[in-house]
Structure 1
Amino acid sequence: MDKHRFWRLIEAARAQAPRSYDAEAVAREATLLLAARPVEEIVAADQVMRGRWIPPGTSPSTTPTK
């Protein structure tokens, strides 16, 4: 999952939440959407969320960290 797919997932969660402005409701929906995905995508989503996403084909040792 790259940054764009992550944010599409968040937008889908926002659309499904009863109140799109309610961060907890959006988080619950995002959790449900992620739970249906493969483990690799869940881990990648976590990395994107934490700002540690490493583009495919890039070595972690050469990618600057924050």
Structure 2
Amino acid sequence: KDLNAVYKDTFAALKPKYGHWVIFDHCMPFDVTRCYDEVTKHVDPRIWTAERDVEMWKTLEG
């Protein structure tokens, strides 16, 4: 699965239990992206840049 599909599946699975947390919607894109990196091609955390932020949002909202 690509990042977009993984994000949608993860969000749907966790929303019923954790969706009431105020920070849930804000943190999920970053948490899922980091996890996706770790299980695919980036074992070590990557530095978060403005370019990476734009890339993530395009992927998740595209």
Taking structure 2 as the reference length, what is the TM-score of the superposition?
0.36
Taking structure 1 as the reference length, what is the TM-score of the superposition?
0.35
Structure with the largest fraction of helix: 2
Look at both structures and tell me which one has the larger radius of gyration over its CA atoms.
Answer: 1
